[in-house]
Structure 1
Amino acid sequence: MKISVQTQDFDVSAELAQMRATNPAIGAVVNFVGLVRDRNDGQDIRTMELEHYPGMTEKSLQMIAQQAQLRWNLIDTLIIHRVGLLQPLDQIVMVAAASAHRGEAFAACEFMMDYLKTEAPFWKKESTAEGERWVDARESDSQAVNKWGSLHTDNADASIDQE
C-alpha cells in the first residue's frame, strides 16, 4: 500500500511499474488519474489550490485503501494526492488497485476514488476571472459513494493505530 500527499507531480508510468514489480501474482492493475479542468460551473479556471489537514488526510486515505482491501482480494493499492497551487491539465490524484483479476481491481479503484472525493479532508479553491471561490462537494459524488454502503472504520482505525 502506498499513500502520499505531496506538492510535486507524479509519474504515472513509474508508479504503475513499481506497483507491478511488487508481486508476480498481479494479473490486473486499474488506475485513475484526475486532472485540473479548465472550466467548472460555467467559468474558466485559472488555478486551483488544494489544502489539506496534515496527518488526518493521510490517515483518511489509508483507511479508504484498507477498506478496499477488506472488500476485495487485492494485492496492492496506491493513492497519491497533490496539494498546493495547480494549473489546468495538472495531475491532481492517482488511485490504483492491483489484483489477480480485473473485476476486483476495477471495483476497488472506483470505490477508493468515490470515498476519496467524499471522505478525505481536502479543500479546493478555484481562481476565476471573477475572483476566488471555494468548491463545494458535488451531489453526484455523494450519490456515487452511497452504492458502496458505509465504511467499517472500527477495523481500519485499529490497524492504523498499530502502524
Structure 2
Amino acid sequence: MALKRKKAYESNIEKINGARMTIETQMMAIENANVNLETMGAMRAGAEAMKNIHGSMNIDKVDETMDDIRDQMDIANEISEAISRPVGVGDDLDEDELLNELEELEQEELDAKMLETPSPVVTAPNVPVHVPAARANEVEDDEEAELRALQASMAM
C-alpha cells in the first residue's frame, strides 16, 4: 500500500510540475505580449512625434533655408573682406591688368633664362667631299640591268 501511495504521490507531483510548467510558459507569453504592446505603443508615440516635428517641414523648405544660409555666409565673407582691406590701397588697380603684368614679367624672365642657357656643342665627323667612283658605276650598272630586264619582260 505504501508503494501505491508513493506512486500516486509521484504521479500527482508530475501532474503538478506539468501544470506549473504550463503556467510558467503562459506567464512568459503574457509578459512577452505585454512587452510587445508597450514597444508598439512607444513606436506609435515616436512616429506621431516625428510626424508633428516634420509636419511643418519638407525638403523644399529645408533646401530653401540652406540656400538662405549659404547666401548669408557669402554676404558675411564679402563684408569681412571689405573690412579687412586697407583703406586707399588697391582702389585704382584692376585685377586683369595686374594678371597681365604678372604674365609679362614671367615671360620676360623665361626669355632671359632661355638666352642665358648655353647651347650644347655638337661635334660631327667630317663629311667626305668626293664620291667613290667605283660605287657609283656599280649602282648605275645594276639599275640599267634591272631596266633592261623589265623592258624585256614587258615586250613579251
Greater percentage in strand: 1
Which protein shows a greater Rg?
2
Q: TM-score, normalised by structure 2?
A: 0.15
Specify which structure has the bigger relative contact order, considering alpha-carbon pairs within 8 angstroms and separated by 6 or more residues. 1
| TM-score under structure 1 length normalisation | 0.15
